[in-house]
Amino acid sequence: SHYVDITFTITLPYPQALSSQDAFQQINKLKGDIFARLSEEADSGLFSFLGLKADAYSVGYPKVVAQCPPGSLYVDKAVASSYHCVGCSPGHFLPDNATQCQECPVGTFTELDNATSCDPCPQGKTTRGPGSGNHTDCQDVCQAGSMSRDGLAPCQKCARGHYSSRDGATSCTPCPGGTWT
């Protein structure tokens, strides 16, 4: 047999004043009302198409998916009796169409909750690792001619007869034979 699947969307504003528990109860009541009404209409023959007739058994139970503000995810905790949006914490962001928060990459940070992107550190600075949630996490990068264990300040100049030709060096290289610094 062949089937025709008809899907539609109902968009309702979510009043922020409602508690999560109240919203859960109202959404469940609305889902039940929609299901009952569609089942009745299907049995009455309202959903006839090209000689085919839908019945109450062909009506699926409504699924609720919240549209959360940018930078937050919908959490369906029906077992816990709540529906709500959860935002990403500082140091994390939610790119478009992502399904989970991601850490800000090295060299970026965000101090905001619900961020959709991370801000780059200023020129000549970077972070020690991913997930930085404060601009103060941006540290000076060791300049060419200096180094440190992680390539970030505090830095020390390369010893006589050694060099580093790039920023962020973690070691200095001995000069080739017959050359010096």
Residue 85 pLDDT: 76
Indicate the range of 39-43, 87-91, 113-117, 123-127 predicted with least confidence. Answer: 39-43
* Cα(70)–Cα(131) distance, integer angstroms: 19
Compute the average pLDDT of residues 106-116.
96
**What pLDDT, on the 0 to 100 scale, is given for residue 106?**
97
Which pLDDT does position 6 carry in this prediction? 73
Average pLDDT, the chain: 84
Q: What average pLDDT does the segment 160-178 reach?
A: 94
Average pLDDT value for residue range 92-120: 94
Question: Over the stretch 58-92, which tens digit does the pLDDT of each residue have?
Answer: 777 777 666 778 888 877 665 445 567 788 999 99
Name the DSSP class of 152: B
* Average pLDDT of the residues in 98-120: 95
- Is residue 96 classed as helix, strand or coil in its secondary structure? coil
Predicted structure pTM score: 0.64
End-to-end CA distance of the chain: 83
Mean pLDDT over 114-143 rounds to: 97
CA distance 16 to 98: 24
What contacts 24+ positions apart, CB below 8 Å, involve 157-164?
none
